[in-house]
Amino acid sequence: MDAILKSQAEHLAREMGTRVTTLDDLNGLMRAMMTTARERMLNTEMDVHLGRRTETTVTDNPTPDAPTTNATERVSAAPKSRRNGHSQKTVSGDLGDLQLRTPRDRNGTFEPQLVATGPRRLDGFDEKILPLYAKGLTTRDIQDIVKDLYGVEVSPARVSEITTDLDAEVTAWRTRRLEGVWPIVYLDGIVVHVRGENGRVSPHTMYVAIGVNLQGRKELLGLWLSEAEGPKFWLSCLTDLKSRGVSDMFVVCVDGLSGLPEAIRAAFPRTKVQLCIVHRVRAARKYVTDSDSREVAADLKTIYPSATVLEAEEARETFATKWDAKYPTIVRPWRATWADIVTRFEFPGAIRKAIYTTNALESVNRVIRTFTRNRKPYPNAGRARKLVYLAIHEASKTWTMPIVGWKAARNHFAIVFEGRMPTRPPN
């Protein structure tokens, strides 16, 4: 906005401030101004189309033969015609519905650029609907909110049409190329309910993979859907990541699904697996009475904060001596999976803190659960993937900073995984 136009706008705003007394008055005045301005612009477009006005374009890189004004004048090459009245068109925008008088020409060749012939909504309006949908609001909720905020009637079918445009985006995202090296990857599955072709609703597992890239920022790597969670399907997910460019993962953090560590090693033989300590503690407390639950959790806490593997093993045996007779099902899983529990002790504190739990996925799971809670079961598998992608994509806008202590962790990764860490990580 140039200085003259800005000054005029400020003067108009001051005058409006003395005359407008309610928010409705202000919105009505803004709609009138927007309508008038757009109609003037449409009429200017018609003048250019009819050849009654030249259209000036500025040349960014003038050639030596170009005029010193760096401007060229172009007269519309449209065949001779003339105006032929107006047609009414209603378009929706941030200020509500606008009734525009769109000029017509006798030959019917005028195609306005400001308000195209087909669309009934101004640019940017649909983008305001998508975040509401991503936050788990139903189409009916969105209809009411848009009506209250903008005075625009948006049918549930229209909301569905807007989200349908995401299909191509989701397909491109699911097949995009990925960086080759990921220092940390978190894998987890969450149950969602999907309506099948037979009309019956059944639980499915949404497989989620989040990676921490070489800059320490989280990134959603993939979403997959299956009727049940199992290591065989996880292997297909990991194979998909390999086909899209992933060549190495240093540490993969998982919740303890039986067979998953073996699936990870089958796809990435050099990758280390770390079982989520938080999940291990939760699983142990399931077998404990309420009266002992807090004490058992406190005793387990003496194991995983240990400084070394030897200290952790001593704490584990102390725990076993105290509780094995009463709760034998607690100690047995810790011993059976001990090699993948103590992976974190191979690393310094900066890395241990980042990999001891899959809590990095908890925020994603909360988004999915919130989204699922606020709506009926997903109508089909494709819609489930699309809507969960949309919800997570909205949540990932906050993933702008590296994880805590990343610089120190990256330096240690470069030492521990010498030869596997790229010497020049991408910016």
Say whether pLDDT at 119 is over 90: no
pLDDT, mean of residues 389-406? 81
Predicted local distance difference test score (pLDDT) of residue 186:
93
Look at residues 145, 182, 223 and name the one whose alpha carbon lies nearest to residue 387.
223
Which residue carries 């993969």 as its tokens?
A: 252
More confident residue, 2 or 338: 338
pLDDT at 61: 46
φ, ψ for residue 105 (rounded to 5)?
-115, 160
Mean pLDDT of 7-19: 66
Give yes or no for residue 251 having a pLDDT over 80: yes
Predicted local confidence at residue 97, as pLDDT: 65
* Reported confidence tier of residue 115, pLDDT bands at 50, 70, 90: low
Report, as an integer, the average pLDDT of 161-182. 82
Higher per-residue pLDDT: 392 or 372 = 392
- Quick one: pLDDT band at residue 36, thresholds 50, 70, 90? confident
Q: What is the mean pLDDT of residues 137-160?
A: 70
- Segment 119-146 mean pLDDT: 64
Low-confidence winner among 101-105, 132-136, 252-256 (lowest mean pLDDT): 132-136
pLDDT bin (cut points 50, 70, 90) of residue 274 is very high
The chain-wide mean pLDDT, for the chain, equals: 78
**Is residue 75 predicted with pLDDT exceeding 50?**
no
pLDDT at 134: 61
Greater confidence, 308 or 110? 308
Give the per-residue pLDDT at 305.
86
Q: Which of 3-7, 181-185, 187-191 has the highest mean pLDDT?
A: 181-185
